[in-house]
Every structure is written in structure tokens, then in C-alpha cells.
Amino acid sequence: MNTTNPITGDSALPSDARQTSASFFYTSPGHLRAAAHLYGVSSVPLEAARVLELGCGAGGNLLPFALAYPDARVVGIDMWPDEIQAGRQAIQDLGVKNLELLAQPFTDIDQSLGEFDYIIAHDGFTWAPSDVRAAIMRICRDNLSAQGLAYISYNTYPGWKAGDTLRDAMQMHTHSAQTAAEALGGATAMLTLMSDGLFEGHPQKAEILSAIARIREHPEYYLNSDFLQASTSAFYFVEFAGAAGEGGLSYIGDALPHNEISSIFGKNVQLNHSLMAIGQPKVMRQQYLDFAMGRQFRRSLFIRQERTDTILSLPDLGRFTDLRWAANFQWVGASRKQTISHATFINPKGIKVDLDNPYAIHILSALDDAWPATLSYADLVFCTQQVDVECADEQQHTKAVQRALESLFEKGILRYSLGAGPYDQARNANLAFIPCVSAAHLAAQPTACEIATFNLWHDTQTIRLTGKQRELLAMFDGATNIAALHDNDAADPAALISVVTILKRLGALIGCDSAWLAYYQAQLKNAKGTREQKLAAVGPLFVYANVLSRCDAANPTTRQGKAGYGIHSRKAEDTAPSPSQQQLKHILQLKKQGKLAEAADSAQRLTEKFPDHPSSWNMATIIAIESNRVDDCFEFALKAIALKPSASNPYAHLSACLNQTQMWVDSRLNAARALILDPQNADAWNNMGNHYRHCTMPAQARICYQHMVNVAPHSAIASANLANVLGDLGNIKEAVEWNERTLKLEPNNFRILSNQLFTLSQSADISAERFVEAHQDYGRRVEAFVRKIPKLLHTNIKNTDRPLRLGFVSGDLYDHAVANFIEPIWQHIDKTSFEIYAYQASPVHDNVSRRLRGYVKEWVPASTMSDEALAARIHADAIDILFDLSGHTGHNRLPMFALKPAPVQVSWIGYPATTGLTAMDYYLSDNHFAPPALFENQFTEKLALMPISAAFKPWPNSPEVNGLPAMSNPYFTFASFNRMSKIGDEVYRQWARILDAVPTSKFMLGNVYDGIRKEVTAQFGKHGIGPERLILKDRATIPDYLRLHHQVDLLLDTFPYSGGTTTLHGMWMGVPTVTLTGNTIPRRTTSAILSQVELHGFTTTTLNEYIDTAISWSQRTDELSALRQGMRERMLTRHSAEFVTKHLEIALHQMWEIWCAGEKSKSFEIAKQPMN
């Protein structure tokens, strides 16, 4: 039997079917005030506002506001007495004094209730009887204050047409129900049928499923009132707005203003809507938009009609500057890869947002650091100063911030307020639960409990805590200093940090800025928590110390507690004992002398004597960076940041440390923080440049290094890095000049000398003689430098029959081309005759490194070892033959080879030229690369030649070779996938000549990232080649890069520095390369590879021949097609790992026999051996 509501006469529902208390952020007075401001409408400040909600249920939508603004008057009215009673009990339990709940029919409300500044009627207007609807409209007019805002939400057509279908189906299915419970059961069953049993071709399927999803967000009683009893379930917006106008109200706009901007629904909607809506009034324009996007639901704002003239037709996004902003989206760790060009964020409810705008990424990251507090528009401009190093203009920067903020606003993921947000004026000196969260209640729940609650932003949240985490909840009573707990060794720091992180993210904790600041400082100062937890604390600490404090300086009353912290912080630093300048200079002098161990000991003593002064930890960090002690550097930098979070240097030091551990995004973020605090920080500019260079963004890296040179003109690092990136950009002449400038600063900097030699290898202006002399000069300088070091005596047993120990020194034992060449050798070499020792000269260690370790007897991380220490280790390992796999490339250890730690030393694979060292006995190559008659005088080493000097390991699961594209395309496709640094002006000019001679051709160029796309197009344009002839491809994964060859007919080589790995990849995919050979090995790598597989018809010796050959092959497509299909067989017969390894073993035995015989190293050639 049905029961009846004594107020309305409606059928009552079982208690378990009534609406649970919920809150909705877009109905909160704070949000409504901010939204109205965007439409030009002023409203009453929140602190003493009068708020009325019609249909308040148990008051869950009013509690957050009442708790945040205790001086406001808040009233809720509902027609269900049980709901009101439950709400009153909750109010009493929470001790809320300013919230009153009334059980009363809306039709009985009159002006005696008083005026209200905010009237809210959420999700009840549609299903209400006509007299109740009229009452809601009347209350919104008669009880609304002069500056008041009214909010009414309702279902709208055309989107809710699917809702009508659901209503008809449910009413038909439940027409014979005798009780409310029976009717609800039938309605729920029909929802299941419509959800799971719709025909795939149902024309309304998508709309019905969307309506079902929205219905299921509501409690079951919603089905009874909105569907089983209602005859009208929606309105056209124009009808509703007209009725409101007749009732004395004027439409402002949507409470989610972005929903009224046509551009967010796509360009087609924007264009056609603008054409259709020309000259139409505001309401009609919005009705057209509802038709275009199928809107199902509206959240409308109204004011009294006498204020109509103040309303803007659309939200004015220029008013963003007046608002404060918040967001609760965490950067997903998996998306924090190398760059900040793409990122994924997720909120506590699992909603993901993918961003590709670096400004938007930085904004959302800064808002996440500040959450649940707000940041002003000026704060966002402040936090994003170093997002785009190419943007030096402040006005352009602000425009970029505006555009990014608009993009986030249009996604509907931001919270915003006009004035302070609900957490901004917290007075709690210690972190504490917000009033609606009870520590005792949470702690009493069973294991893995889930407690539904809300925060002061009106977000309904679910708190999930483990039993161990719940044991810590009593600490958040407002009386306990959470920060001080980090000093307690008995506390579990990781558990405490995880609880604070969870509760902060849910908005369940509140505290003044100084409380949060003290918490993060204590966490970092005392080195508590996991590495990830400590790194995650840096961002919030920066924001609380440097961003939120900015508003205090301008207006000390804006935020509570912060100004006091700032004074305390300065006093703490001023009064803490500090090291003297003499002590600091002494340590720096030890560093300069290379006495790093002694410097480290002195720095440690400094931190022990002055533990509370940041300069001690800064010095310890500097020495740890220089010594490659990454873990120490990380901890020391965090302590320095904790002691002085407003200082620039500690963030720069942390950035350098993160660079070394390949955490490129976090490195960039901290470099940016350092530069925000001090734009003249040379180390920060260096780290930023290193980030961009690693991410193959040399144009941006160049800007950073140029800044570094400007602020540190006498820094060798600055000028050397600028030279390196100029080389990356193909500006070889400038790179050589900057290297020369660097060498004037540090004549015996062997790393810079190597950089200069590598740069010269790409120069078209250097003769072979000068090129060789430059390498020999390097060798003379290095060997003169090491003469003061005692020689190592070789006691290796001179036995030609025993197993030999092979040592390999390389900075490329990771996902690098060198590793790709060496792995098949290590895999196939005879382990009974050779033992492999690997000395990893770079700090990079990845999956390839881990795989390589499986082939060796000993793996030695050598990046932190000095040359003497590494030589001593190799000598102690009794290595017989030691390989250099780097030459003059990055992370080389050639000065160590000058100490001659092994009796036989060989340079191989990594560098196509001599090392210049007389201590290097052999250069391992083949007759194709280095025919002795032509090249023996270009090496200080003796040439050890094999039939083929390097194995090629194809990429696993490489794409199959396809047919020649020109056979089906109306054009011929040339291409190059070589490094952009190899492409100079002359190369562009000659490629353009080829394209001009083959007018039906196109040119594909790989590795063209956004930063140089315009420059590449302009380079071709200078020579008359338009962009329609170009196919520019960004960097790609190896499988995608190989697949690009399916579109290529013929590759064109770069000069003077030819291709190598790219030539081999091209051949593996069936595409040969036309090359211009030269008189040094860097200029003949491709010609040597082609010679190995007898493809002599693609090698040229003059520019005219190069051009003529490319043109000729574009006309011989049948021959190219045949070559394409047989290319892999050619390679497999000549480049197999077994073939190369067999001849390498013979060469190694011959080297060893020469040494055992007491002879000097001498050139030799291994004849081709038959294979089994």
C-alpha cells in the first residue's frame, strides 16, 4: 500500500530510495557569482550572502557553502520531511549555525521568507507539477534581492527526446504497479532492457544510452517523480526563457559558460551557427546552438528584469583576469616523458584530460600544486614564464596564457571564483580535517572502507584509506603539528605522506598557507618518504613559497598566516650559523683542481657544522653533481630547497641532477622554477638547454645556451654547449668558431677538443690534411697531460692459446646505434675463447642496457669514475684487448686510453676517423671504408681490416619490403632521413636542383619537428621548390620510421658527412642511397656500405655526377624495382653477425699474437673466410 506525503499528497518512497545528500559545484554560490561575472553581471559577495535552495534534500548541496562562509545565511526547503529531518541531524552533528532546513511546499513560500542573494533550484523544475513550476519562478522573482542571482536547471529538447522514449517505455511497463517499490523495480528493469537490449541499428541508440547514463547518476526516487508520474520531461530552451521573462526574470547565460561558446563543438558548428544566428537575439542564438549540438540539459542563470541591460551576449573571456582559479587534476606519471608537448592528467574520479599545449600543461600543473587553494590570473602568468623560451615578449606571453586558460576553461575542468576561494582564507595553524570529515568516523570503518563526503568546492568525493592509513587520522585534529611529525623517527613517513596526499587531493584537509609550507619544508628537509614523494613535494613547496606569497605582499589580508611565515623564514636564515666565504671558496678550489673526493669530504663537514643554512647544502650539491653522485645530489638539493624555497640555485641544482637520471620533464620544470626566481641563473639556462637538446629541439636549446653565454660570458660550458647545438642545427662554421672560443678559455679541456673534432668531421671547408692534423694535435695534448701519471705495467700472460679478456668502453650502451651494432657481436662471439667486460661510460641505463648485460662477464658503471680510476680498474681486470666504441663522440674516455691500461687497444664503430692517440694500437675497419693505400696516413692507429667491419641487426618485426611507390604514384619520391645537423645550405641547394630537374618528383624529409618546419620550407623555397613538393615528417618510432620507406623510391645522402645507420635501414627496406663520396671516412661511409653489397652505381665523386645519378635513377624505375625486391638478400649474405664475428675473432687473435711476440702494432688485413 502506498504512503502519502502529508505536505504534497504525492506518493512517498521507501527510505532506502530517497536521495542521498549530494553537492554540485556548478550550483555553488561561489561558482554562480564567478560565472555571472563573465557575463558582465555583478552579484553579492559571498561572506555575508543570503542563500536559498529549493529542493535541497538533506542539505548536502548547501553544507559546503555554509561551512566555508559561517557569516552567510543559508536556507534549504524541500517537500520531503524525512529528508529534512536527516539533514537537520547532520547540521546538528557538525555544529553548523548558519544553515536552516525547512519542510514546506514551494507553493506556500511568499515574500515573508525574505530576500536572498542566491536562489538555487537544481534538477527539480522539469518534473514538478505546473503550479510548483510557477511557484519556483515566482520565488526566483519575488524573493530575489536587487543584486541577486537565480539558478534553475532543467531537461531540454532536442537532446531529451530520448528521455521521452524512456519515459514512455517505463510508464507502459509499470502501469499496473500497486506500490512505489514495485513501480521502481519495473522502471529499473526497463532501463536495463533499454541499456543492454537495444538493436544495433536503433536510430536513437546513442541518445538513449546517454540519457540512461545521466538517469543513473540520480537516486531511484528520481525515476518515480521524473518519469513514472510526469507528463512533461523537458522544454525547448526558447520556451523556458520566454516563461522566465513573463515571470519577471532575464536570462544571463549558462552556469557553465563554456557551454554557450559554439567553437567548442567544432569548426563546422561554429561556422554554421554564426551564419544562422546573425541578427538573432541572445535566447534564439542559444536555441540554434541547442539544435546543433543536441543539448539535453541546461543550467540557467537569471536576474531581475530591471538589470537586463548589464548582461553580455556571450561570456567575456577577457574577464578571466578578475578570477581566481583552481583544478584538481594530477599529471599522470606515465605521460611525464621527455617533453612537455603532451601530457595526461587525471582527477580523483578517474576523469582523464589529454593536453598538447605546453602552456595549458604548466597551468594545470601549477593549479594542481596549489590545490585546493586558488591562483590568480597573474599567478598563472608568473608560473608560466619559462614555458616557451622563444617568447621573449611579455605581452605575447600573456596572450599565450590567455589562450591556454581558454582551452582548459572550454573543457570544463577548472574551478573559478571571483575573489578568494573556499580554502584561501583558512586560519588553521596546523593541518586539519574540514568540518564535514570526522577522523573518528573514518578510523572506525572496516578495512578498505569507502566514505562518501564532500569538500568545500562542492565536489562529492569518496575517501578510501587502508587500515594503516586510518591509524594516522587522529593527527589531523588541528592541534597537532603535522610538519613536526617528520622529525619523529618513530613515524612512518611514507604512510603519513600518502595520507596527506590523499586527503589534500580530495580537499578533505584545510590549513593556512604557512601550515602547508611548513609541512612540505619538513618533508624535504628531513628527507622523509620515497623518492617519488619527495620530488612531488617540490612543486607545492615552490607554489606556497613563491606564488601564493606574492598576493600577500600586495594584500596581506588576502590570505591568512603567510606574511608571518615570510618573516620567520628570513629570520631563520639570518640567525642560523653560516659557513664563511673562505670555507666555500676552498671547496670550489678543490673542485677546480679535480680533487673531488677531498672536496666532498669538506662539503660534508660543512653540512654537519651548518645543517640549517642553505649554502652548506648548495655546496654539497655542487660537488655531488661534479662527482656524478646522483643520489646524494638529489637529497642535498632537496634540503637546500627546503631551507630556502625562494632561492633559485637549489632548483637549478636539482634540475641538473634530474638531467643525469633522464627525468627530463622534472628537470625542465625545476630549471624553469630557477629561472622564474632568477632569470640570470646560468646553470638553469644550461639545464633547460640540455633538456631541449636531448628532446631534439635544437632551435630552443640554442636560445637557452645563448642566454647562458650572455649571463656567463666566461663560462666554457656555456660556449661549448652553444657550439654543440650550432652543430646540431648544421651551422658548422659558427660551431667551429664557438669551440675555438671555448678552447681559449680552457685549452686542455679534452671534452671540448673532442667536440671540435666531431664538428670538423661535418665541415665541408676542411681539408683531409688539416682534419688529420687536428686529431693528431689532440693526441699530443692528451698524451703530454698524462705523462705525469705513473705508467701502468702490463703483466698479462703472453699465451696465444688462452682465452682473452675483451674490454669495451662506450657511452652508448643503451638504445643507441652503437648498441645495435655491438649486440650481435657479443651474442655470437665464442665465449670459450673470449670473456667480455663492459665499461659503461654514460649514466644512461635502459632496457637495451639490461639486455646487453646478459652477454658480458662483468658490467662496470664507469660514468662517475675518473680517468685514473677507470684505467686502474681495467688494469686490475687484466683486460687483454680494450675497445673504444666512442671515438670523439659524447661520453668518450679517450684520455683514459692514453694511460694505456691494456696492452692492446682498438678503436671501432663509434667514430669514422682516427682518435689521434698513439696509445691506440688499431683502428678496426674494412677495405671498403679505409683502403690502406688511401687512408693509412690519416690514422695514428694501424689499420686492422676485415672483409666487413660491422654487423647490421635489423629491427625485430621490421615491415616487409613493398613495391616501388613510383610504379603506382604519379610522382617519384626522393627522401632523406639523416640527422638535420648534416643538412647545410649546399645540400638544400643541390637537392633543389634535383627536384627542379624532375618536375614530377617530391621530397620526403624526416626528423622535421615543429621548431624547424618553417625553416626547412624556407630553405627549399629559396631555390624555387614550393611546399607542395615537400613531405615533412616529424620524429617517429623505429617501426614507423621504417614504414616511411614504403613511400620512398630513392634516398639522397647528405654531404660532406654522409649517412650510416640510415643508409643501412634504407637498404633493409629496399631503398638504395645516392651518395657523394670524399677523401675522409666521414665522407665515404655510405659509399663503403654500398660497396659492401656491390651497389656501385649509386656512388658519385662530384656534385654534377651526384645530381645526374639521382635524375637518372628516377627514370629507371624498372631497375629500381628489381633492386628493391632483392636488397635484403644482398645484405643478409654480407652483413650477417656470424660472418663479421668470425673475422673479428681472427683479427683479435692476430693482434694478440703480434703483442705476445713483442712486436709493435702493425696494419693487417683478414682475408675472407668460408662460412660453415
Check whether residue 506 and residue 651 sit in a common domain: no
Q: Which residues 6+ apart lie within 8 Å of 239 measured at CB?
A: none
Whether 596 shows a pLDDT value over 90: the answer reads: no
pLDDT at 570: 44
Q: How confident is the model at residue 223 (pLDDT cuts 50, 70, 90)?
A: low
> Between residues 252 and 180, which one has the greater pLDDT?
252
Whether 1041 maps to a domain, the answer reads: yes
Q: Looking at residues 23-43, what average pLDDT do you find?
A: 97
Strand intervals (E) in 158-275: 235-236, 249-254
Stretch among 13-27, 153-167, 279-293 having the lowest mean pLDDT: 13-27
Q: How confident is the model at residue 943 (pLDDT cuts 50, 70, 90)?
A: very high
* Nearest one of 75, 126, 120 to 96, comparing CA atoms: 75
Q: If you average pLDDT over every residue of the chain, what do you get? A: 89
Whether 1042 shows a pLDDT value over 90: the answer reads: yes
Range of the domain at 888: 802-951
Cα–Cα distance measured from residue 609 to residue 631, given in angstroms and rounded to the nearest whole number? 21
Would you call 943 helix, strand, or coil by DSSP? Answer: strand
Check whether residue 811 and residue 892 sit in a common domain: yes
**What pTM does this model have?**
0.84
Cα–Cα distance measured from residue 958 to residue 1069, given in angstroms and rounded to the nearest whole number? 8
* b/e code 329-342 from CB counts within 10 Å (16+ = b): bbbeeebbeebbee
Q: Which helix (H) or strand (E) holds 858?
A: strand 858-861
> Between residues 3 and 595, which one has the greater pLDDT?
595
Q: Is the peptide bond before 81 cis (omega within 30 degrees of 0)?
A: no
Q: Looking at residues 869-894, what average pLDDT do you find?
A: 96
Stretch among 1012-1021, 1077-1086, 1091-1100 having the lowest mean pLDDT: 1077-1086
Whether 5 shows a pLDDT value over 60: the answer reads: no
Q: Tell me, what DSSP letter sits at residue 28? A: S
Cα–Cα distance measured from residue 1027 to residue 657, given in angstroms and rounded to the nearest whole number? 42
> Between residues 545 and 577, which one has the greater pLDDT?
545
Q: Tell me, what DSSP letter sits at residue 560? A: S
Check whether residue 628 and residue 699 sit in a common domain: yes
Which of 784, 818, 836 is where one domain is finished?
Answer: 784
Whether 823 maps to a domain, the answer reads: yes
Q: How confident is the model at residue 614 (pLDDT cuts 50, 70, 90)?
A: very high
Q: Looking at residues 264-285, what average pLDDT do you find?
A: 86
Would you call 531 helix, strand, or coil by DSSP? Answer: helix
pLDDT at 857: 97
Q: Looking at residues 1098-1110, what average pLDDT do you find?
A: 96
- Contact at 8 Å (CB) between 163 and 47? no
Question: In the chain, pLDDT over 90 holds for what percent of residues?
Answer: 66
Residue 245 identity (one-letter amino acid): G
Cα–Cα distance measured from residue 204 to residue 198, given in angstroms and rounded to the nearest whole number? 10
* Nearest one of 216, 215, 299 to 253, comparing CA atoms: 299
Would you call 120 helix, strand, or coil by DSSP? Answer: strand
* Nearest one of 29, 35, 32 to 52, comparing CA atoms: 29
pLDDT at 232: 61
DSSP structure string for 1105-1129: HHHHHHHHHHT-HHHHHHHHHHHHH
Q: How does pLDDT run across 377-430, given as a tens digit for each residue?
A: 999 999 999 999 988 789 999 999 999 999 999 999 999 999 999 999 888 889
The HSE-up count of residue 101 (CA atoms within 13 Å, CB side) is 26
Cα–Cα distance measured from residue 312 to residue 294, given in angstroms and rounded to the nearest whole number? 24
Cα–Cα distance measured from residue 126 to residue 59, given in angstroms and rounded to the nearest whole number? 20
Stretch among 288-292, 527-531, 1103-1107 having the lowest mean pLDDT: 527-531
| Cell reading at 478 | 588541528
| Cell reading at 737 | 668558431
Check whether residue 907 and residue 866 sit in a common domain: yes
* Nearest one of 393, 683, 391, 371 to 540, comparing CA atoms: 371
Q: Looking at residues 63-75, what average pLDDT do you find?
A: 96
Q: Looking at residues 880-889, what average pLDDT do you find?
A: 97
> Between residues 981 and 1158, which one has the greater pLDDT?
1158
Q: Looking at residues 1057-1080, what average pLDDT do you find?
A: 93
pLDDT at 573: 54
| Cell reading at 68 | 566555508
Q: Which helix (H) or strand (E) holds 140?
A: helix 130-142
Check whether residue 746 and residue 839 sit in a common domain: no
Q: How does pLDDT run across 706-764, given as a tens digit for each residue?
A: 999 999 999 999 999 999 999 988 889 999 999 999 999 999 899 999 999 999 988 88
Whether 1002 maps to a domain, the answer reads: yes
Check whether residue 242 and residue 190 sit in a common domain: no
> Between residues 866 and 907, which one has the greater pLDDT?
907
Whether 979 maps to a domain, the answer reads: yes
* Nearest one of 75, 129, 125 to 249, comparing CA atoms: 125
Which residue is listed with cell 660543512?
606
Whether 1172 maps to a domain, the answer reads: no
CA dihedral in degrees (676, 681, 683, 686; nearest 10)? 70
pLDDT at 543: 96
Whether 183 maps to a domain, the answer reads: yes
Q: Looking at residues 278-300, what average pLDDT do you find?
A: 91
- Contact at 8 Å (CB) between 988 and 1063? no
The number of distinct structural domains making up the chain is 7
Q: How does pLDDT run across 639-686, given as a tens digit for each residue?
A: 999 999 999 999 999 999 998 888 889 999 999 999 999 999 999 999
Q: Looking at residues 138-150, what average pLDDT do you find?
A: 97
The HSE-up count of residue 1146 (CA atoms within 13 Å, CB side) is 18
| Cell reading at 274 | 554564426
Q: How far is CA 548 from CA 376, 514, 543, 558, in A?
A: 9, 10, 6, 10
Whether 959 shows a pLDDT value over 70: the answer reads: yes
Beta bridge partners of 433: 509
Check whether residue 150 and residue 167 sit in a common domain: no
Which of 417, 452, 485 is where one domain is finished?
Answer: 417
* Nearest one of 833, 856, 924 to 884, comparing CA atoms: 924
DSSP structure string for 636-699: HHHHHHHH-TT-SHHHHHHHHHHHHTT-HHHHHHHHHHHHHH-TT-HHHHHHHHHHHHHTT-HH
Cα–Cα distance measured from residue 1075 to residue 1063, given in angstroms and rounded to the nearest whole number? 10
Q: Counting runs of H as helices and runs of E as strands, what totals does the chain give?
A: 46, 32
Which of 183, 214, 231 is where one domain is finished?
Answer: 231
- Contact at 8 Å (CB) between 457 and 467? no
Q: Which residues 6+ apart lie within 8 Å of 940 measured at CB?
A: 775, 776, 779, 914, 915, 916, 917, 918, 920
- Contact at 8 Å (CB) between 79 and 34? no
Whether 1049 maps to a domain, the answer reads: yes
The strands making up 1073-1076's β-sheet, listed across from edge to edge, are 1030-1032, 1001-1005, 972-976, 1050-1052, 1073-1076, 1099-1100
Which residue is listed with cell 667480455?
836
Q: Quickly list H helices, 576-643.
A: 581-592, 596-609, 614-626, 630-643
| Cell reading at 1129 | 638478400
pLDDT at 489: 58
The vertex-34 CA angle with 31 and 39, nearest 5°, equals: 125
- For residue 1071, the domain's CATH number is 3.40.50.2000
Cα–Cα distance measured from residue 350 to residue 1103, given in angstroms and rounded to the nearest whole number? 60
Check whether residue 568 and residue 593 sit in a common domain: no
> Between residues 362 and 1169, which one has the greater pLDDT?
362
- For residue 377, the domain's CATH number is 3.90.930.60
The vertex-777 CA angle with 772 and 783, nearest 5°, equals: 125
- For residue 152, the domain's CATH number is 3.40.50.150
Kindly report the number of other CB atoms within 10 A of residue 88's CB atom.
17
- Contact at 8 Å (CB) between 749 and 716? yes
Check whether residue 524 and residue 629 sit in a common domain: no
pLDDT at 559: 44
| Cell reading at 290 | 541547442
pLDDT at 472: 85
* Helix/strand/coil percentages in the chain, nearest 5: 50, 15, 35
- For residue 840, the domain's CATH number is 3.40.50.11380
* Nearest one of 480, 475, 468 to 440, comparing CA atoms: 475
pLDDT at 562: 35
Q: Looking at residues 343-350, what average pLDDT do you find?
A: 93
Which residue is listed with cell 637529497?
635
Cα–Cα distance measured from residue 1035 to residue 1053, given in angstroms and rounded to the nearest whole number? 18
Q: Quickly list H helices, 371-507.
A: 377-383, 394-410, 439-443, 467-470, 493-505
| Cell reading at 85 | 529531518
Q: Which helix (H) or strand (E) holds 222?
A: helix 221-223
Strand intervals (E) in 47-203: 50-54, 73-78, 99-103, 116-121, 144-157
Check whether residue 176 and residue 138 sit in a common domain: no
Check whether residue 755 and residue 843 sit in a common domain: no
pLDDT at 938: 92
Residue 347 identity (one-letter amino acid): N
- Please give the span between the terminal C-alpha atoms of the chain, in angstroms, as a whole number: 94
Would you call 801 helix, strand, or coil by DSSP? Answer: coil
- Contact at 8 Å (CB) between 919 and 897? yes
Q: How does pLDDT run across 797-807, given as a tens digit for each residue?
A: 999 999 999 99
Q: Looking at residues 798-824, what average pLDDT do you find?
A: 94
Interstrand relation of 324-326 and 375-376 (parallel, antiparallel or unpaired):
antiparallel
Check whether residue 986 and residue 927 sit in a common domain: no
pLDDT at 714: 94
Whether 1 shows a pLDDT value over 60: the answer reads: no
Q: How does pLDDT run across 489-525, given as a tens digit for each residue?
A: 556 788 889 999 999 999 999 999 999 999 999 999 8
Q: Tell me, what DSSP letter sits at residue 807? A: E
Q: How does pLDDT run across 1116-1132, given as a tens digit for each residue?
A: 999 999 999 999 998 88
- Contact at 8 Å (CB) between 327 and 383? no
